[in-house]
Amino acid sequence: MKISMDEIGKMAHLARLEIDQVQKEKMAGQLSHILVYIDKLKDVDVEGGKPSSGVSFMNNVLREDKLKVSPGPLVTLANAPQRDEDFFIVPRVVK
């Protein structure tokens, strides 16, 4: 499947990217190769194969939850660069 330059332009616009003609041509070729490979995967015979994924064979590796007493704000905030009573002071990230 071949990707047109117009399609690349539309995708770049949607992604808010400014790309020049050389980059468009390169991207069109790369995306076309990816789509050709995906088309080849459609032809793979999977008859008789068992569906599987790497996740299905994993055991739960998490530890058991154990109830513990909180060390309290004196210990928790001991190394805080700035604090206000029992709270951390952090730089503002939202204006």
- Could you list the residue range(s) of the whole structural domain that residue 29 is in? 5-42
Measured at the alpha carbon of residue 37, what is the angle toward residues 33 and 42, in degrees to the nearest 5?
A: 145
Q: Is residue 55 part of a domain?
A: no
Q: Which residues lie closer than 8 Å to 27 by C-beta, 6 or more apart?
A: 8, 19
Structure confidence at residue 30 (pLDDT)? 94
- Structural contact between residues 33 and 67, judged by C-beta atoms closer than 8 angstroms: no
Q: Is residue 29 part of a domain?
A: yes
Q: Is residue 13 part of a domain?
A: yes
Q: Is residue 28 part of a domain?
A: yes
Structure confidence at residue 23 (pLDDT)? 94
Q: Which residues lie closer than 8 Å to 36 by C-beta, 6 or more apart?
A: 1
Q: Is residue 58 part of a domain?
A: no
pLDDT-flagged residues of the chain (< 70): 53-58
Q: Is residue 35 part of a domain?
A: yes
Q: Is residue 10 part of a domain?
A: yes
- Structural contact between residues 8 and 31, judged by C-beta atoms closer than 8 angstroms: yes
Distance CA 66, CA 54 (A): 29
Give 84's strand partners: 87
Q: Is residue 74 part of a domain?
A: no
- Look up the pTM and report it: 0.48
Reported as a single tens digit per residue, the pLDDT across 71-91 is: 998 899 999 999 999 999 998
Structural domains counted in the chain = 1
Cα radius of gyration rounded to whole Å, the chain: 27
